[in-house]
Structure 1
Amino acid sequence: MAQIINGQIERNEYSSIPYTWIRGGQPNKSICIMLPGLGYTTQRPLFHYATNICVNHNIDILHINYQYSQNEHFKKLSEPEQDQWMYDDVMATAHEVLKEQEYEQSFLLSKSLGTIPMAKEWTDRSLENTVSGIWLTPLLKDNNVYQAILNTELPSLVVIGDKDPHFIDDRVATLKHNQLVSIVVIPNADHSLELKGDITATMDAIKEVTLKIQEFIQR
């Protein structure tokens, strides 16, 4: 039976990062670190099902539940400072929680805002044994995110809706040139991968994305 550990990392007086660490009943060799969006938390459907997939495949999970919409100090920072702040929060949490663990491989799964620190990690490689990444609705308007995916040397799954403000047709087409990148475009889906006004189609989209995540993790 899985063990759920909730905690909080105090990086400095302005930065307190809640986390949830889900561990298997027996020691697992892999972990998936999940980075949510600004409003799309790890309690929302895509993270809920991705978490269940990991549990079913004997992969531990670390939800890093930063709450930047409630952090007034964070809001006053410049964009580059915010990007670095998010990365520092993610790394501080991951290193502290996992410091006594010996996972053989790590996966990263991020959505929206979470793709910013994930993109920096793709460059800095602070985490050990990262083998692949899942990018849900990446912020492709951000050059750092776009370049990180474009130049990735790790297998990567990218999922985005064509009604997402960050969907840029030319950039999505260019990403396909990297054979390590698998791209799933959900027609008529917005930044939450929902189809406005169509609940049934939204549920179908969630099912499709969930299956793609499962296929990717099973590789």
Structure 2
Amino acid sequence: MKGVLEEEGVSIPYFYTKLGRSTKKLAILLPGKEYTTQGPMFWYANQVYLEQNFDTLQFQYPFMDIEEDKLPKLVHGMIESFLQQHEYDSIHFVSLGLGSTIVAYSLKQDVFSNVQCVWYSPYIHQDSVLDALLNRPCKGLVFLGDESELVHEEGARLIEEKEHLIIAQVGGNALFESVSIEINIETMASIAATIKQFIQHQKIELIEEKTTIRVYFSLYGNNFPLDAVSEKLGLQPTNLDKDGNPIIPPIPTNHPYPESFYHVTDWELSTDDEESMDLEVQMSQIIGKLRSKVPVINELRDTYGLKSHLQVVLHVHYGKSPVMTLDKKVIEFAHQIQTEYIDFDVYVFPFDENLSFG
């Protein structure tokens, strides 16, 4: 919902997203001087808050001709007027640069209860903002760019000592108010995940992702009876796909998703995505269940005109690549059932060296 809020003769556009379900939580997004809420830092933050059952209110004052020293009082008045018309019992402020002066002013008024803050590169060189960070005990997550000219070294040291604040250093990025700000997608994903943890727990737990392996065996063809295959093999499949059925996206989305359909019928037996540094472990789990079924697999292949393949899905984190040996028993099994191929689907995730916590 788009609209305009007015205070002392000044009008500022806003964008208000209200969830279809009822919520008492609101995130107020206050961008920088030249960085709008459509920039990636605010776009991702907005999505995270919506996913966490918050309504969101985005102010659109960047590039407007408003005196900076008057902006905090004006926007604070607009926020108060807005909240008089809407009932919320939890408020989160998300600000960048100039927006932090608005948060500092609002916190000083002591009119909001149950307030938490996400600060992107706050103006800690300004006394009002530094005072708000140090002396207003609301929980806060502070992102500082170590290349920013606006990072006040003494102020940064002081806020790092405060227990109610979590300090995240975004290395290699100048988190300042500029339309040319650049943050790589991996770092942006880490920032979004950090905000999500902060919303849920008011603390950050550093979780190191582990390399995982999943192996699955697939029997596929045209419209064959899946139940008959399960019965013949004496195994319960981990996944079934039917020719002509719609393909459901793996991650729900509010955006239009082009409708598509399966073109083959598929019977699968799979391991879980398991932490592993040796492919032999997961491959043995699958082969161990199927080795005695070789005659049945071949009979099903001939009866229904089926094909088969073995698939390895590998997620490599922190450069920890597992042993990827295909031993004799795997090769023999693949030959005995005349499998089409053994495929490796490898996802290598980059090191995230651009986000650290003080």
Give the TM-score normalised by structure 1.
Answer: 0.84
Tell me, yes or no, if the aligned pair for 1:35 and 1:109 is still in contact at 8 Å.
yes
In structure 2, C-alpha distance between the alignment counterparts of 1:86 and 1:48, rounded to whole Å: 22
Report how many residues are paired.
Answer: 200
In structure 1, C-alpha distance between the alignment counterparts of 2:102 and 2:200, rounded to whole Å: 25
Q: Flag the 1:163–1:54 CA change in 2: closer, same or farther, 3 A.
A: same
Tell me, yes or no, if the aligned pair for 2:92 and 2:115 is still in contact at 8 Å.
yes
Tell me, yes or no, if the aligned pair for 2:31 and 2:95 is still in contact at 8 Å.
yes
In structure 2, C-alpha distance between the alignment counterparts of 1:141 and 1:97, rounded to whole Å: 30
Secondary structure of 1:55 counterpart: helix
Decide which of 105, 122, 131 is 2:115's aligned counterpart.
Answer: 131
Q: Flag the 1:122–1:97 CA change in 2: closer, same or farther, 3 A.
A: closer
Decide which of 73, 77, 86 is 1:88's aligned counterpart.
Answer: 73
Secondary structure of 2:86 counterpart: coil
In structure 2, C-alpha distance between the alignment counterparts of 1:36 and 1:86, rounded to whole Å: 12
Write the deviation string for residues 122-180 of structure 1: whole angstroms up to 9, x where unpaired.
21123x32421111011111121112111221111100110011123332122121100
Write the deviation string for residues 68-91 of structure 1: whole angstroms up to 9, x where unpaired.
x331xx34xxxxxx33x2123212
Alignment correspondent of 1:141: 125
In structure 2, C-alpha distance between the alignment counterparts of 1:12 and 1:154, rounded to whole Å: 29
Alignment correspondent of 1:11: 7
Tell me, yes or no, if the aligned pair for 1:193 and 1:206 is still in contact at 8 Å.
no
Structure 1 residue 193 displacement after superposition: 9.2
In structure 2, C-alpha distance between the alignment counterparts of 1:9 and 1:28, rounded to whole Å: 22
Larger mean CA deviation between 98-107 and 109-118 belongs to: 98-107
- Unpaired runs of 5+ in structure 1? 76-81
- Aligned residue runs from structure 1 range 92-103, under 5 A: 92-103=77-88
Structure 1 residue 107 displacement after superposition: 0.9
Question: Aligned AA for 1:209?
Answer: I
Alignment correspondent of 1:202: 184
Structure 1 residue 203 displacement after superposition: 2.1
Tell me, yes or no, if the aligned pair for 1:193 and 1:202 is still in contact at 8 Å.
no
Write the deviation string for residues 10-37 of structure 1: whole angstroms up to 9, x where unpaired.
3244x11101111010221100111110
In structure 2, C-alpha distance between the alignment counterparts of 1:70 and 1:136, rounded to whole Å: 20
Tell me, yes or no, if the aligned pair for 1:151 and 1:178 is still in contact at 8 Å.
no
Alignment correspondent of 2:137: 153
In structure 2, C-alpha distance between the alignment counterparts of 1:24 and 1:37, rounded to whole Å: 25
- Aligned residue runs from structure 1 range 108-127, under 5 A: 108-126=93-111
Alignment correspondent of 2:147: 163
Alignment correspondent of 2:92: 107
1:182 partnered with 2:166: yes
Structure 1 residue 215 displacement after superposition: 0.9
1:70 partnered with 2:64: yes
In structure 2, C-alpha distance between the alignment counterparts of 1:100 and 1:70, rounded to whole Å: 25
Question: Aligned AA for 1:152?
Answer: R
Tell me, yes or no, if the aligned pair for 2:76 and 2:105 is still in contact at 8 Å.
no
